[in-house]
Structure 1
Amino acid sequence: MKLIELHARALESATEVVGAVRPEHLDLATPCADWTLRRLLEHETGQRRGFTAAARGAGPDLALFADAPVGADPADAFRRTGAELTAAFREAAEAERGLWLPEILTTAPVPLDRAVGFHLVDTLVHGWDIAAALGTPDRLITAVEADGELLAVLEAVTEAVPDTPEARAPGKAFRPGLVPGDGGGRFARVLALLGRDPAWKG
């Protein structure tokens, strides 16, 4: 499935961002309200583990998606969990298996292409969150905008995310959308649609 390979490219870009994280950065603020960089990294690691379990046939168990410690080498944790998730997505594609994602839907498995798309958006937007916390978002933005296929999928999935009070309530993955500014580029528009201020600085 082409989408899985695009997702793997998103994982690589996010892992490159995390490669710059040092222990002294872990208490930095992030664009995610009230989350330090440590909390965001633990959230992302837990999500990768949860999606991996779901892709391998686990049922709707929220505990599988719990935040997970990243240890002394966050980039290594991202690399390992990213490789495991890519392999699990490929296994799910071969088995034609949907994923139980209880944070999103509790009544039925989510079709694989939708699940991969959701995680692709999560990976790149949180990758930007991490880069913004470090004060270096431009490299990720440039890399994504140079990858036309990846950017097109990111935009398409983002535009399909409901922007309703119920979907964007406190505690949900995204805040209410903002009006994209002029001249900010396509990735900046994605960030705004998902409630991020592309000009955010810690």
Structure 2
Amino acid sequence: MDIRKLDRTAVLETVRVLGQASARDWDRPTPCAEWTLRELVAHMAGQHHGFAAAATGGGTDLADWQPSELGDDPLATYCATAETVLHAFARPGVLSAEFLLPEISATRRFPASLAIGFHFLDYVVHGWDVARALGVPLDLDEETVRAAESIAQRVPDDEGRTSPGAPFRPALPARPDGSALDLVLTSLGRSPEWSATASH
């Protein structure tokens, strides 16, 4: 399947899940230990902005990738950035482009399909982060999750995962009875058993 369609599915699911947040939910803890829900969504919105810039030939300035200011209506702000990145990825010819992703490399150019794959995996995982913070289900079809699993298995599990600010932690043991989504999570250092209550 076109990586853009997979990515769109994941991003729109984050929009759907976040639509269930109430005003009192934005300070909830998330599986990203250093971030509340508001801080996580600010990061997610900022990444949408950066990837959209990269898809249109920009994105070289790290300022493009900084967390977004969510303002008084964080959901509306997030939805606007989601729409921006999906529109950028849908542009004709984008799959023949190369993306500059300065958070990964200051000089390397990434084929569009690989770069969009990075974005896709992030939003499957961040969708789970948001859903778990809110205590609601994440609804992704099997094809989408299996595609995320394939990408997750190729993420190096090396010393870089222990660096400050690393997007993923060292892999956890896979659960023998776990789902495909569980495998995505454990391979990237997240515990499928995480709960907001247990994090306090």
TM-score by length of 2: 0.91
Asked whether 1:196 is paired with 2:181, we answer no
1-side partners of 2:19 and 2:53: how far apart?
Answer: 25
Q: Structure 2 matches for 1:124-163, cutoff 5 A?
A: 124-136=124-136, 139-140=137-138, 143-144=139-140, 147-163=141-157
2-side partners of 1:8 and 1:66: how far apart?
Answer: 22
- Tell me the amino acid that sits aligned with residue 79 of structure 1: C
From the superposition, tell whether residues 95 and 127 of structure 1 become closer, same or farther in structure 2 (CA, over 3 Å): closer
Deviation string 1:68-108 (CA, Å, 9 cap, x unpaired) is 02233333233222221112112273472111111112222
SS of residue in 2 equivalent to 1:110: strand
From the superposition, tell whether residues 63 and 5 of structure 1 become closer, same or farther in structure 2 (CA, over 3 Å): same
1:169 deviation in Å?
2.2
1:186 deviation in Å?
0.7
1:44 deviation in Å?
0.4
1-side partners of 2:20 and 2:71: how far apart?
Answer: 15
Q: Which residue of 2 aligns with 1:112?
A: 112
Q: Which residue of 1 aligns with 2:74?
A: 74
SS of residue in 2 equivalent to 1:41: helix
Q: Structure 2 matches for 1:56-71, cutoff 5 A?
A: 56-71=56-71
From the superposition, tell whether residues 92 and 61 of structure 1 become closer, same or farther in structure 2 (CA, over 3 Å): farther
Asked whether 1:18 is paired with 2:33, we answer no
From the superposition, tell whether residues 156 and 92 of structure 1 become closer, same or farther in structure 2 (CA, over 3 Å): farther
- Tell me the amino acid that sits aligned with residue 72 of structure 2: A
1-side partners of 2:119 and 2:92: how far apart?
Answer: 15
2-side partners of 1:128 and 1:54: how far apart?
Answer: 25
Identity across aligned pairs (percent)? 38
1:59 deviation in Å?
4.5
Conservation of the 8 A alpha-carbon contact between 1:50 and 1:64: yes
Conservation of the 8 A alpha-carbon contact between 1:46 and 1:68: yes
Q: Which residue of 2 aligns with 1:100?
A: 100
TM-score by length of 1: 0.90
1-side partners of 2:147 and 2:186: how far apart?
Answer: 16
Question: After alignment, is 84-93 or 55-64 more displaced?
Answer: 84-93
From the superposition, tell whether residues 191 and 94 of structure 1 become closer, same or farther in structure 2 (CA, over 3 Å): closer
- Tell me the amino acid that sits aligned with residue 37 of structure 1: L
- Tell me the amino acid that sits aligned with residue 29 of structure 1: P
From the superposition, tell whether residues 100 and 169 of structure 1 become closer, same or farther in structure 2 (CA, over 3 Å): same
Asked whether 1:122 is paired with 2:122, we answer yes
